[in-house]
Structure 1
Amino acid sequence: MSVDGTRLPVAVVAGLHADARRTTVEEILRTVPGSVALHHDLTSAVDSAVHRTVRDAGGLLGSGDAPLVNDCACCALREDMVPELRRLAEGGRHRLAVLELWDSVEPQAMAEVIAAAGAPLALTGVATAIDPALVLPYLSNGDDLADVGLAAAPSDRRTVADTFARQLEYPTVIAVVEDSSCGHGGEVADGTDDALLAQLTPGVRALRVQDGGLGAALLAGFDVVAAAARLHPACALLPQECDEHGVSTLVWRRERPFHPQRLYAALEDLTCAAARSRGRFWLAERPDTLLSWDAAGGALCVESAGPWLAALPEAAWEMVPAERRVAASLGWHHEHGDRCQYLTFTSPGLDRDGLLTLLDSCLLTDDEYAAGRDGWRQLPHAFDDLLDPVI
């Protein structure tokens, strides 16, 4: 069966919480008749191959190995999964194919590959499976994936925390599995864990696997363009102001630019102030560059995300995605346009007052602001090593 009689619905299920992910997939196979799961185990990549399995509710249907591509296990997964999914579609026996991703594989890249493949495949859902009691420990884990045996390629420099954050923030469904067997010593999620998860994932539907409904949610449809826009720094769907069960989200918005040297000096304190912080910002000496802020696990990534909309000629605006134009219009400033500071910090025990004071102290003073852009460009370029590294 397919969504329109010709295409096989495909749902992606990701998650670093391996036990929760497996429980989720087993529940889908049990409750959705005619469903089948495809999984590539990247653990065996040390033997120059990725192990593939296909199973349904009754057990294993088949297995095989996919050779590495450029010594990259994740590349092998990409090369193998679409032909395998097409083979399942051509068989005509399945109502839903579940692509169960290996631990550290992020759902965005795989969802976009499936969406681009077209018929006979139809991407209908993306979920990340989690154990809520493990959300904070994983967001706080700054270990490199390579150090814990979860790297997908020799060049993989990601950490546990930033990988987990992206797994949480991309999908439209979070599959919640509360089970003491999920590898955390019998800890049980409480109100703090639930509040943290809810604040980190605005606009995402959280479903408790044991309550049912997951299969239907993963057949509802998925828009990869909208999903990418939700993560783009210029128009990201960020957490909202909240304080519940000891977990707080601070939303900090200002119009004045940062003093680069003072902000650089405060980076360590700001990075460690919250379990997760995200957003966009601007520096006085780089007034045309939209900068992204992405921090988890005590590590911060600062990158250029291109020009601010206000720095582009109006003729170029039609080339910018509509989501970004809408986001820019909501906070348009008569002088600065869409340039702004928009950062969010989410954590249990957040020191809101201290964080506000520190952030505000990094902005230009009245005298510095009055110097205008010509004066701003003369300020120290403290971020050159981060933004313009010498290769």
Structure 2
Amino acid sequence: MSTDVRLPVVVVAGLDRAARRQAVLELLAAQPRVVVLHHELTHADQHRVHRTQRTTSGPLAEDVDAELVNDCPCCAIRADLLPELRRIAEAGRHTLAVVELWGGSDPHPVVEVIAAAEVGDGRCMDEFVEIAGVVTAADPLRVVPDLSVPDTLCEHALHTGPDDDRTRAEALAHQIEYATVLAVPFAPRHEPDRRQRLAGLAMLHQLNPTARLVALDTGVLARAALGGFDVPAARDRVNPALALLPQQADQAGVATLLWTRRRPLHPARLFEALDQLVPAAHRSRGRFWIANRPDTLLAWDAAGANLAVEECGPWLAALSDADWEHYPPTRCAAAALDWHPQHGDRIQQLVFTAPDLDQQGITDLLDSCLLTDAELRTGQRGWKHLPDAFADLLTPVG
């Protein structure tokens, strides 16, 4: 096969096995010579991964059991999936490869591995394949319930390794927000749970308003899934420093609140408010800064009543002009256009999404965590003496 023609690859994710499998089967039947590759992690606790390949005619090759290298699903993909994709691409007998992920798998690291990995001979994977689309399949009837509970993936045998302690809500939120296509089962005309379905659809749309929402069993999935995928743009879309967060919305009883302020947050008051803020929404995320750490951009990532706060490097306002060249032009341009005379690009931007969201209550609580005028006047020298309440919660990125 000439490497001038790369094999299109569609990655399909989803917690809901039935919806995910329906999406895969539709892609498999959409055109001739499609191959599906799936790594099953049922026995992840035993450090094993089971790989299958199939076409419309049945299994393409014998199933393979391999070791889960370093207890890392991405390592298993690098060791097993990439050589298979290269082999299939070079053989030239297939027009599309569908990579069906395991239930709790995050598509983001998988796509990054496929798109950029070296595969020997001094060559990269992107010489052989191209990511054509990323699909997350979800049942709208289950989206809101799955985002509201603290159940771990391990409790449902959907974890990707022995050390995977993520919740179902965390996994589902990241699957939804990274995809360019959200595939949902087709609804019967007289569906008894229509209100719950509409709430689930509203939740999907508000969490990822730029994704294309398609109904399965209508013949449109393949066209949507093969619409093209921009790996760097997708990376930026989920990067806390660059993400364009969802805007205010209210539909089918589901609302999204975008809280934006400039002045710094008081670390102790914000920490004390977490017990109320985190469970106030099914999903919340964004970027923020606290007064005693004025140079550090912090990421907020909460789902299913679990919160992760991470250090994401410096605010540009903390850097010299010469250091700006090390950061993406899009971030520099956005900072320059929205520059605050006192705080630079430092900003509070947190977005909360849930049914029956108490928008005023969340706004009032967050506003009460900001520095008062008197505290603001003490400046950064005074702020550094505030309690370092987030020291034990912060997790550096990278």
What range is the shorter-chain TM-score in? over 0.9
146, 152, 158: which one aligns with 1:150 = 158
Structure-2 separation of matches of 1:66 and 1:187:
42
What is the match of residue 125 of structure 1? 133
What is the match of residue 174 of structure 2? 166
Question: Which letter does structure 1 place at the counterpart of 2:343?
Answer: H
Matched position secondary structure for 1:30: helix
Paired residues of 2:74 and 2:109 also in contact (CA < 8 A): no
Structure-2 separation of matches of 1:218 and 1:143:
30
Structure-2 separation of matches of 1:121 and 1:219:
13
Paired residues of 1:234 and 1:327 also in contact (CA < 8 A): no
Cα deviation for residue 46 of structure 1 reads 4.7
Matched position secondary structure for 1:190: helix
Cα deviation for residue 385 of structure 1 reads 1.3
Question: Which letter does structure 2 place at the counterpart of 1:251?
Answer: L
- The unaligned stretches of length 5 or more in structure 2 are 117-124
Matched position secondary structure for 2:280: coil
Residue 373 of structure 2 is aligned to residue 374 of structure 1: no
What is the match of residue 275 of structure 2? 268
Structure-2 separation of matches of 1:372 and 1:71:
47
Of 168-177 and 21-30, deviating more is 168-177
What is the match of residue 10 of structure 2? 11
Matched position secondary structure for 2:392: helix
Question: Which letter does structure 1 place at the counterpart of 2:139?
Answer: D
> Pairwise mapping of residues 1-391 of structure 1 onto structure 2 (< 5 A)?
6-46=5-45, 48-62=47-61, 63-116=63-116, 117-178=125-186, 189-387=196-394
Structure-2 separation of matches of 1:284 and 1:318:
26
Paired residues of 1:74 and 1:152 also in contact (CA < 8 A): no
Q: Against the structure 1 CA distance between its residues 330 and 196, is the aligned structure 2 distance closer, same or farther, given a 3 Å change threshold?
A: farther
Question: Which letter does structure 1 place at the counterpart of 2:99?
Answer: L
**How far does the alpha carbon of each residue in 1:146-197 deviate from its partner, in whole angstroms, 9 at most, with x for none?**
23322212222211111111111111111122469xxxxx855532222111
Matched position secondary structure for 1:39: strand
Paired residues of 1:66 and 1:77 also in contact (CA < 8 A): no
Structure-1 separation of matches of 2:46 and 2:341:
60
Paired residues of 1:130 and 1:174 also in contact (CA < 8 A): yes
Matched position secondary structure for 1:286: coil
Cα deviation for residue 241 of structure 1 reads 0.4
Structure-1 separation of matches of 2:349 and 2:31:
42
**How far does the alpha carbon of each residue in 1:312-339 deviate from its partner, in whole angstroms, 9 at most, with x for none?**
1110111101222233234221111110
Of 167-176 and 214-223, deviating more is 214-223
Residues matched between the structures, number:
384
Q: Against the structure 1 CA distance between its residues 156 and 46, is the aligned structure 2 distance closer, same or farther, given a 3 Å change threshold?
A: closer
Question: Which letter does structure 2 place at the counterpart of 1:83?
Answer: P
Paired residues of 1:29 and 1:56 also in contact (CA < 8 A): yes
Paired residues of 1:74 and 1:105 also in contact (CA < 8 A): no
Q: Against the structure 1 CA distance between its residues 386 and 209, is the aligned structure 2 distance closer, same or farther, given a 3 Å change threshold?
A: same
Cα deviation for residue 61 of structure 1 reads 2.0
Paired residues of 1:13 and 1:100 also in contact (CA < 8 A): yes
Matched position secondary structure for 2:69: coil
Question: Which letter does structure 2 place at the counterpart of 1:338?
Answer: D
Matched position secondary structure for 2:102: coil
Cα deviation for residue 37 of structure 1 reads 0.6
Paired residues of 2:285 and 2:300 also in contact (CA < 8 A): yes
Question: Which letter does structure 1 place at the counterpart of 2:20?
Answer: R
Paired residues of 2:310 and 2:395 also in contact (CA < 8 A): no
Structure-2 separation of matches of 1:259 and 1:47:
45
Q: TM-score when scaled to structure 1?
A: 0.93
Q: TM-score when scaled to structure 2?
A: 0.91
Matched position secondary structure for 2:350: strand
**How far does the alpha carbon of each residue in 1:254-283 deviate from its partner, in whole angstroms, 9 at most, with x for none?**
011001111010011000111100111010
- The unaligned stretches of length 5 or more in structure 1 are 181-185
What is the match of residue 122 of structure 2? none
Cα deviation for residue 95 of structure 1 reads 0.8
Q: Against the structure 1 CA distance between its residues 233 and 45, is the aligned structure 2 distance closer, same or farther, given a 3 Å change threshold?
A: closer
Paired residues of 2:38 and 2:100 also in contact (CA < 8 A): yes
Cα deviation for residue 308 of structure 1 reads 0.3
Q: Against the structure 1 CA distance between its residues 32 and 386, is the aligned structure 2 distance closer, same or farther, given a 3 Å change threshold?
A: same
Q: Against the structure 1 CA distance between its residues 17 and 388, is the aligned structure 2 distance closer, same or farther, given a 3 Å change threshold?
A: closer
Paired residues of 2:144 and 2:199 also in contact (CA < 8 A): no
Cα deviation for residue 377 of structure 1 reads 1.1
Kindly report the root-mean-square deviation, in angstroms, between the aligned alpha carbons of the 2 structures: 2.0
**How far does the alpha carbon of each residue in 1:261-310 deviate from its partner, in whole angstroms, 9 at most, with x for none?**
11010011000111100111010111111001111000111111110011
Structure-2 separation of matches of 1:330 and 1:196:
31
Q: Against the structure 1 CA distance between its residues 294 and 89, is the aligned structure 2 distance closer, same or farther, given a 3 Å change threshold?
A: same
Question: Which letter does structure 2 place at the counterpart of 1:12?
Answer: V
Matched position secondary structure for 2:380: helix
Paired residues of 1:284 and 1:373 also in contact (CA < 8 A): yes
Equivalent pairs: percent with the same residue?
Answer: 54
Paired residues of 1:39 and 1:100 also in contact (CA < 8 A): yes
Paired residues of 2:74 and 2:113 also in contact (CA < 8 A): no
Of 187-196 and 53-62, deviating more is 187-196
Question: Which letter does structure 1 place at the counterpart of 2:91?
Answer: G
